Each structure stands twice: as structure tokens, then as C-alpha cells.
Amino acid sequence: MFNSANTLSAGTQGYDNRLMTISSDDANTIELPRPALRLSFQTREQSTLRNPVPSVKLACSTCGSRHLCIPIELKADSHEKLNGAFGNTRRVKRGEAIYRAGDPFRNLYVARAGSSKTIAVHHDGREQITGFQITGEYLGLDGIGTDQHTIDAIALEDSVICVIPFKELEALCDGDKILQHHLHKIMSREIVRESALLMMMGNLNAEERVAAFLINLSQRFQERGYSAAEFYLRMTREEIGCYLGLKLETVSRMFSKLQRQGLIDTHGKQTKIVDIEKLRQV
């Protein structure tokens, strides 16, 4: 049911280590997490992506995660063409913005290594996390419609982000039906992902939400070659709650409840799914 983008990060047990192994070249130089910012009212510091900052060009062909963001059908020679739009990477540290609501829209983003959250902020300050993104999942689609971003995107950990200038991407699509259709699919899947989330918010109780959240994560890790059963959550209980429409205490209680039932085994952020079938039946 929650069949598309969402998020957090990391691998089986070894915290960042598996992530490093998997996501190629640049990942292994990522610094480890820095002091966290508070979820709400965090300092609106400038993001490295919004200010001119040296970007590093890394050809997609060297990226172990390229199958996640560019069409697999693309022929080798087409990869050359992509070089204009793809392969510009930037680093962001934990807690930094990739973009902010109100920023002019210019780029889409994909984490090459790392993870992020997207936050919709109500005019009165109330916040809703609309998704967590992991390696290969797109960010920034919200900005196309109004030429301005409408939500914030914040790194959950130090990350390497591919910056894809949207004008150039559209230019590439013009004349490349495969790439064009691929972009449409990405956007459509984001729509479907949010529909599923709405379904959850409208109909599932707290226990079901937490179960669905874990199942969804598990699935996305598996698709990326990580363990589906054991992973490290990059987000806090408060962030999970903000995403699921629950308070952190409720999230915590549901983790405890699922643990008591023997469906999961957690120690803080370290999470193990013991019985995924029963978890699905919650």
C-alpha cells in the first residue's frame, strides 16, 4: 500500500557502514552526524544549496544508485547527453536545508547518499512531514507548479545530493520520449504515494500507522539492497509522529506495543522486524 517514496536511511546494523558500501565513491568521505537541530523552530540557516557553493561533477555512470533515478532503458550513448543536467553533486550536513519554502524553483534533487525529510509548514507554524526520502528518491517536485518551492526539504544526515537543473532536464526530455515518460512516472508515483498517505491519515489507527510505516521502510530498504528486516532509523520519534499525524508519545507506545506482541524488536532507532507477516495484519 505505501508503495513508493518515503524514507530515512542506513543499513542493517552497522549504522552508516552499509550505506557507505552501497552508494559508491563519494559516500565514504561523508562526515558523521553533527549536533542535531530541533525539529520545530530550528534555525533558518542558509543551505549550502541555496548559496553559490562549489559543486562536484560526478558522472552518473560512476553512481551505484543510478538505476533508481534515471531510466534503465537509457542507452549508453544517452548517458553522455545526460551530463548537462545530471551529475552535479553538493554536500549538505545534517539539519541543513536542501531547499526552503519560498525559494525560487530551479532544480530537482536526488540523494546519492543520505536521506532527508520534506516539511509542509502551516501559516501558524504547525508542521507536517510529508515524506522521508532515501537514496535515489526525488525531491523538489513541489516547486514546478508555482516556480517556487512550497515546502522545506531538510537533510536527516550528512548527505551527497545530486542537483538536477529542471530547465535542462525538460530540454533533455524534449526529444527523448523515454526520459520524458520517466519524469512523468516519477511525478505520478509521488501523487500516488501521497494518496496512500492520505488514506492512512484518514483511516488507520495509531498502531496500524506505525506498522505501515515500518513495512514501507522495510520494503524500500530491500529495493536498495539493504536488509528488509533490520535497519537504523535516521529520524526521531517526534519526526515519525509528525509524519504519521501522531504525537511522539503515541509513536513510542506503539513501538512498545508491537515489541510486546513480538512483531518487532527495537532499541531506540535500531529496529528489527521479527514477524513481517503479522505486522502486515495489524
What does the alpha-carbon distance between residue 194 and residue 190 come to, in Å, rounded to a whole number?
6
Stretch that binds its own copies, among 8-16, 52-60, 201-209, 264-272 (CB under 8 A): 201-209
Stretch that binds DNA, among 16-24, 26-34, 47-55, 141-149 (CB under 7 A): 26-34
Give the nearer residue to its own copies in terms of CB position, either 36 or 198: 198
CB of residue 228 vs DNA: minimum separation in angstroms?
A: 21
Q: Does 183 bind its own copies (CB under 8 A)?
A: yes
x-or-dash pattern for its own copies, window 92-131, by CB under 8 A? --------------------------x-x-xx--xxx-x-
Task: State which of residues 245, 261, 265, 278 lies at the interface with DNA (CB under 7 A).
Answer: 245
What does the alpha-carbon distance between residue 81 and residue 87 come to, in Å, rounded to a whole number?
11
CB of residue 103 vs its own copies: minimum separation in angstroms?
A: 14
Torsion (CA) 171, 174, 178, 183 in degrees, nearest 10 = 50
Residue 160 binding result from its own copies, DNA, none, given CB thresholds of 5 to 8 Å by partner type: none
DSSP annotation of 148 reads B
CB of residue 25 vs its own copies: minimum separation in angstroms?
A: 30
- Beta carbons of 218 and 272 less than 8 angstroms apart: no
Burial 165-178 (b: 16+ CB within 10 A, else e): ebeebeebbeebee
CB of residue 105 vs its own copies: minimum separation in angstroms?
A: 9
Compute how many other C-beta atoms are within 10 angstroms of the C-beta atom of residue 195: 10
Pairing relationship of beta strands 230-232 and 270-273 according to DSSP bridges? antiparallel
Residue 174 binding result from DNA, its own copies, none, given CB thresholds of 5 to 8 Å by partner type: its own copies
User: Under 8 Å CB-to-CB from 9, ≥6 apart: which residues?
Assistant: 19, 114, 115, 134, 135, 156, 157, 232, 234
Pairing relationship of beta strands 88-92 and 230-232 according to DSSP bridges? unpaired
The number of residues in the chain equals 282
Cell of 246: 501522531
Give the nearer residue to DNA in terms of CB position, either 83 or 256: 256
Task: State which of residues 269, 274, 276, 278 lies at the interface with DNA (CB under 7 A).
Answer: 269
Give the nearer residue to its own copies in terms of CB position, either 23 or 116: 116
x-or-dash pattern for DNA, window 33-62, by CB under 7 A? xxxx-xx-----------------------
Stretch that binds DNA, among 50-58, 146-154, 223-231, 238-246 (CB under 7 A): 238-246
Question: Phi, psi at residue 41, to the nearest 5°?
Answer: 55, 30
Q: Does 201 bind its own copies (CB under 8 A)?
A: yes
The candidate with the shortest Cα–Cα distance to 187, out of 114, 152, 138, 119, is 138
Q: Does 198 bind DNA (CB under 7 A)?
A: no
DSSP for 258-273 reads HHHTTSEEEETTEEEE
Q: Does 235 bind its own copies (CB under 8 A)?
A: no
Q: Which residues bind its own copies (CB under 8 A)?
A: 1, 4, 118, 120, 122-123, 126-128, 130, 141-146, 150-151, 170, 173-175, 177, 180-181, 183-192, 194-199, 201-203, 242, 244-245
